[in-house]
Structure 1
Amino acid sequence: MNSIPCRLAPLTLLLCGWAAQVAAQEAKLGQYVPPESRSFGPSPGVLLLRTLSSLALVVGLVLLMILTVLAISVMRTATLDLSMTGNAQFRENAFQLAESGTHAVIRNAAALDLSLVPDCPVAMPPWPDADLPWSAPVEIAALRGRYQTRLCFDGATRDINPRLSAGEFLELHYRVESRGRTDQRNAEA
């Protein structure tokens, strides 16, 4: 009977154990036993294939889970980027609406009765919170929003200029505040 040298590697031990089982069965029967009539289970190659396929299944499932988590993370990041881009666009539209309001007041200044314009508050920093009347909202369909304006009188100065024939002229100072608001997410500028 041939002896197979067994080392401590797992595959070698598996093959050595199988060879020992074959040798024991042949010694018991006193003759060669063909593989199909052996009674001690599958060959080491079949066991190894089963073990490797189970291991490949586990590794594949772990990789699939990692890819799923990565895909969900990428989708959330892309959704957040789209939302932030939309917010920036809506803020830009609100700014354009506010600019439209400022330009409308300047264009129509000649038609305004400036004697009815209230004086500006003395303290400038809280001016946005001041109790000045806002105009009625004006809708602009192209920007999908509206603007409101308010105007206050900020005083007058005399400018003396010797190059002018009159010698001096009066400068009237007004402040315009315009607020634009979009219909999408109520972006305001």
Structure 2
Amino acid sequence: MVTRVRPATVEDARGVATVHVETWRAAYRGLIDDAVLDAQRVEQREQMWTRWLERTGAGQPSYGDGDAVHRMLVAEADGAITGWATFGRGRDAEDAGRGELAGLYVLPGHWGTGTGHALIEHAVLGLRSDGWREAYLWVLHGNERAFRFYGRHDWHADGTERLGAAGGATELRELRLVRRLA
């Protein structure tokens, strides 16, 4: 199985949504309420990602609450999407001068295969090519697998925490990780 990383297209929305839902359920079980995880639906995520990819493809802001335009990369193996990453200018007001790795998800069956490594390396190259000297990301408190993964790729906690919300979950305690890119 060879992993290929490429820019996402609108046609990838279903595969992206599948990765999103399956990864949430596997990675966040025990960290987010089971009812929230079980309520995740590929069809809803597909609609969300279709709109996101349409907006970004047109150069419009990626997220409804700011003006940052992010890009998405997908990883494929044997013609199926096995992971994805989004990145661009920081969405948080205090981090607007830095790049952001906004999301990185890999199907649980592809954990440990190099898919995540390929995605993060391509995303870091994209952030560098956009001129960012430093980048940040947020990790759900307690997600030890993610902390180990990002640590192996030179990301480290800077002591900043926040309460966030996503996918119907509220008061998600997140920790910020940073990395020098230059």
- After TM superposition, the score normalised by the length of structure 1 is 0.19
Normalized per residue, the structure richer in strand is 2
Greater Rg over alpha carbons, structure:
1
- After TM superposition, the score normalised by the length of structure 2 is 0.19
